Structure 1
């Protein structure tokens, strides 16, 4: 290798770098991007999904990011900041609920939920038959009766002599049968509990009838009509900023636990396998078309992001250095210099 050969290689390298950079000028880049994207879509017509990637590769990638990748400790703090921004966003004061979802969409969503007969019936049955529900309603009824009796006693106290008679009667009962008062209380509670089950069963049937007849649906739509013009900000009356953050953090923790289960991993694998069963033999251009992506969309995004990035890389000399680093190995190779004699 002579100095002349090396100097010539250096000149050619500089010329090539300058040429490539000129191709990335905004006007030239638009033409370049359109040409390359057109060619890429033509090539994609000849390639199937199975030709370029396997289900196993995608399964590994999906697991790496959805299951194995550590969630940074900074995420909870970030969630707090996001919650604050979301909670205090001025858009809540400008937009009403009907700006976010239409009457038709509400009705369609309600119909979808109400048409889940088996799930709906199971939920109603489980809630109605729950000991917690029965005990809660029984306790409410008992306290209501207690309140009614207390109110009656207070009213009797305003009648001359009635208060003394009530006290005397209570004293006589207590002496004659010391456990009678407590026994009566227990019997009242048992009676209420027994009848509560019957009342709940009847209410369950009435609710099912209301759903089947359309009364419940109409009631929900009437409720929507009442609130749809309210601003989204009205939700702040019922949910505080801290409660929103707590819900988001709790959701993140639940997700971290769920994604670590074998169950989630199996679901992830099943989803990938199904995708390849359905699209494995599909040409790539058709596949991305079914995903809603076309040439214009790709070109628009390339022209949106690439030019400003390229400009920054040029201004800082990063683009030139990168091109030289990748090309000088070719120009200064002995085999290339031998051609420059």
Structure 2
């Protein structure tokens, strides 16, 4: 008969208690590294100090004599870097079109531009210097000679304008009244002369009375007959007038007459031109002209014309290098540098005086010095 196995002995009480403590004991937390915390703190402080130094340096570069030197270097460096680039590689025609349209729409059509144009016209009208300068000193004679010659030689424009006048019934009516006025004046003058002769006054009065009685009988028919004749006569007279105008322009010494008139004005002060135009008339003309320009800017044709101008510019100058274009425009480095030095310092000085310059520079640089990349670099040191 097999022998029974003895039951396992219970673990001692002290061993069981130790096991329970081992299970219940929490996992110890990692101990903070004072050295790492010190490095992180030192890195943040160093970044702040570097930011302050960078801000101070940048503000110094934008102040006083250092600003002038910096602007000079910036212009030279920019032109050296881009001067050899073609214009079409620096700006695209599409971008220029968009900008040109925006300028035409927002700036040319602005009420401010109209008001400014009127105020400038007033200032020019009252300009004291107009008393000290002759018209001929401002406008040379040679361009005037060329302009007069060109205007008189534009036969196509002249002939077409005269032909269109004959197509207007209103112009024919005005012409008939004009001719009728001339005829009436001639008849009145001749009658005045005739009445000075003995017996002619009574004879003319008798004739006028008879004519009045005849007219009272056939008034309506006579008016219609005269009206038809006047209408046909007006059109005929207008055509004859146009032919006479063509012959006058071709044969008469209009070129010499125009230049003689110019020479008379060229020897007079510019202020004498006020005799031709009052100040209010000039204001009205400028304002009306600006309204015409402002209303025309919304037309699709104006946008098409603007686009055509941009295309012409790039077709002619797009392949030019930037320095060559500036030379064509008569703009040199010294001029660009001087203009920037003239306008930039007062603006930057105003910003520096009220603290805005330092604030703007700090806001621009602070994200960099507070970035993780800078913190890693500074922490690694």
Give the whole-Å Cα distance in 1 for the aligned partners of 2:133 and 2:65.
41
Of 108, 112, 120, the residue aligned with 1:82 is 120
* 1:324 CA displacement: 0.9
Distance 1:208 1:122, change over 3 A: farther
Contact 1:330 1:336 in 2 (8 A): yes
Greater C-alpha Rg: 2
Tell me whether 1:287 sits opposite 2:325 in the alignment.
Answer: yes
Distance 1:162 1:154, change over 3 A: same
Residue of structure 1 equivalent to 2:9: none
Give the whole-Å Cα distance in 2 for the aligned partners of 1:148 and 1:115.
35
* 1:132 CA displacement: 5.4
Residue of structure 2 equivalent to 1:296: 334
Gaps spanning 5+ residues in structure 2: where? Answer: 1-36
Give the whole-Å Cα distance in 2 for the aligned partners of 1:228 and 1:293.
32
Of 29, 50, 56, the residue aligned with 1:12 is 50
Residue of structure 2 equivalent to 1:328: 366
Tell me whether 1:313 sits opposite 2:313 in the alignment.
Answer: no
Deviations 1:301-325 (A, max 9, x none): 1221122222222112111111111
Per the alignment, in what secondary structure is the counterpart of residue 293 of structure 1?
coil
Deviations 1:161-204 (A, max 9, x none): 65444333333344456338956966985796445643542342
Distance 1:134 1:9, change over 3 A: same
Of 273, 282, 290, the residue aligned with 1:244 is 282
Deviations 1:45-86 (A, max 9, x none): 443333333212221222222136683445544444333323
Residue of structure 2 equivalent to 1:217: 255
Distance 1:296 1:173, change over 3 A: closer
Point out the more displaced range, 97-106 or 71-80.
71-80
Give the whole-Å Cα distance in 2 for the aligned partners of 1:74 and 1:32.
36
Residue of structure 1 equivalent to 2:75: 37
Deviations 1:282-306 (A, max 9, x none): 3222233323222112111122112
Structural RMSD (CA): 3.2
Give the whole-Å Cα distance in 1 for the aligned partners of 2:96 and 2:112.
28
Of 299, 305, 309, the residue aligned with 1:267 is 305
Residue of structure 2 equivalent to 1:179: 218
Give the whole-Å Cα distance in 1 for the aligned partners of 2:182 and 2:342.
68
* 1:257 CA displacement: 1.9
Contact 1:93 1:232 in 2 (8 A): yes
TM-score computed with the length of structure 2 as normaliser: 0.76
Distance 1:156 1:102, change over 3 A: closer
Contact 2:109 2:297 in 1 (8 A): no
Residue of structure 2 equivalent to 1:208: 250
Give the whole-Å Cα distance in 2 for the aligned partners of 1:165 and 1:112.
56
* 1:220 CA displacement: 1.0
Deviations 1:70-106 (A, max 9, x none): 8344554444433332322222322221121011221
Give the whole-Å Cα distance in 2 for the aligned partners of 1:126 and 1:153.
37
Distance 1:330 1:238, change over 3 A: same
Residue of structure 1 equivalent to 2:105: 67
Contact 1:128 1:201 in 2 (8 A): no
Contact 2:86 2:322 in 1 (8 A): yes
Residue of structure 2 equivalent to 1:57: 95
Give the whole-Å Cα distance in 2 for the aligned partners of 1:262 and 1:31.
48
Give the whole-Å Cα distance in 2 for the aligned partners of 1:256 and 1:190.
41
